[in-house]
Structure 1
Amino acid sequence: MSNLDVKPSASVCGGREDVSAAPVRELLTGRITPLGESTRVRRLLPNLGRRMIGAWCFVDHYGPDDIAREPGMQVPPHPHTGLQTVSWLHDGEVLHRDSLGSKQTVRPRELGLMTSGRGISHSEESPRDHGRYLHGAQLWVALPDAHRNTEPAFEHHAELPEVTAHGLHATVILGELDGAVSPGTVHTPLVGADLTLAEGTAARLPLQPDFEYAALAMSGRVDVDGVAVTPGSLLYLGAGRRDLSLLADSSASLMLLGGEPFAEKLVMFWNFVGRTGEDIAQAREDWHTGNRFGEVHGYDGDRLLAPELPPTPLKPRGRER
């Protein structure tokens, strides 16, 4: 799970001063970004309009892509610091390898959760004998300062709790939803859930008023609080809600992301999350010198090189425009 932009921008995000306590409806569109040899993703976070939703700080949506005659996802070994990566699939398979020695195939509706802590490296690839379609989301969760230098870890959870109602089926990926708690390790109050709605479903989903939320369309069209959300878009909902209305004229699926507004200011650059520009520069140096991040074994190819740092000092840009 990587930002493969060869000229990534550095941004400072986090802080609660720009988070409205009242519900809002901000429809954000993603930008198309290459990921590996043949995969294109829609990058929803960070976005020019918004950079975080709770501790969620990075969201890519990809597919459904027909990869029957393509290599599919091929992301060479690369480093991470200060975050957790979340792999979530609707179709296809992704083989995860990391510098801890983990080797795990992640399948649809299974949670692949990697905690980078002080530093880890990993690769992701479609297996050589892969299915026809690839469709999913890749997300990052920022680690709070108390945990950002923790020991790295990888978790795979094939069974996740579910919440059901008439026409609605929810899988709790991380955190808690309506009393159902994911086994995935979290370090801040948050929620991530995958929602499937049958044709004609009208439902109200319980929320926590002190969380800010967003809805990411995966397939089909869902009216979320009266706003049509389609694949390639993310609806930011703000905070102060106790429930959320959903209406699906046809079968559809979406992801619900939320959490307490993240109080700490972060610096994000490439695949690193730190607190200062010096944090980022040190992580980049450690990756190039072979320190801290370990080695990924078994990937057929070279590892990624970190891009050059921007020539100007990092400037806070806040959570909104």
Structure 2
Amino acid sequence: MTRHNAFQKLLPLVAGLVAAAVLSFGVAPAFAQGNVQAVAMYRLYNPYTGEHLYTSSASELSSLDRAGWRYEGIGWYAPLESSAPVYRLYNPYSGDHHYTTSLDEYNSLVSLGWSGEGVGWYSDDAQGVPLYRQFNPYEKIGTHNYTTSSAENDYLVSLGWHAEGTAWYGLDPSSVGSVVNGTPFMGTSEHSREQVKANLTAALKARGRDFPSDVYAQYGASNVDEFVDRLFEAAEAEGVRADVIYAQSMVETGYLGFGGAVKPEYCNFSGLGATDSGGEPNRFSSVYEGFLAQAQHLRAYAGYAPLSSIIVDQRYGTWLFGRATTVEGLSGTWASGTGYGASILAILYGI
């Protein structure tokens, strides 16, 4: 077996370790610590070519997810602008992307037939968090990888990649005040009811569990189909993305495993009322009402008023308005965890 073929067989393992490194890095800050406007940089992996791609566009992220790319989390936060642009290029012959801070390199590659895609994002002038670059000499597509994780850098080097130093810089999380791009949670679901039902069924099976019909039959959902139907009905009543509500619910409940202060029979799928200091979780009369309260809380976060339904969210109020409009913005607001939004996105783009 050649070294090239051996590396090809390692790609799934590398992809898994890379994803774990990104999702565990925890770069998503609890916003409003600093005053810098930031851009969330998403990282995706193409399991067919081995390429990693980096984008600040939530719509591109969604489009690539539908095309089969795997979402790997928020790689880092870039400043909204700086004196150091990072240029993005696309090779129409190989399908590969390249990123560089050198305008000369950018223009040279364009002259050779690459498609120039302009400024992709900006490097941090304060050099907060280095993005390490590695080169794979055995491949023609996905030849470069970029990461804030020195452990990931070292692991790839141990597999034969070449370390190429620092490519650019992301923001120090403590400097981030707000994120200007992101994944909106208001609007129409990007995943169908059938997709969500299939995802929940598969997730429960993978965990060796059945849908808790013994609990939820008396609350309006005797099976997965009815449970997801109630979710979509509640989300659509308030104009919130049903797939986001699903993903957030699975984060909060551990795919309906619960185990904390919130009990399954509370029909509280988003931790409303439960706090780090031991607040009393809210209880709802049905699965639909629990999801409707979650939708109303998210709608309030986005500053949408009035509600479209009778208020069932026990904590609803104008004090919630404007807290967040994106999934990324739920970190440090809905939950104190700095990786909360990223954990929701990981499920959302795994449906």
TM-score, structure 1 length as denominator?
0.29
Please tell me whether Structure 1 or Structure 2 has the larger radius of gyration of its CA atoms.
Answer: 2
TM-score, structure 2 length as denominator?
0.27
With CA pairs under 8 Å and 6+ residues apart, which has the higher RCO, 1 or 2?
A: 1
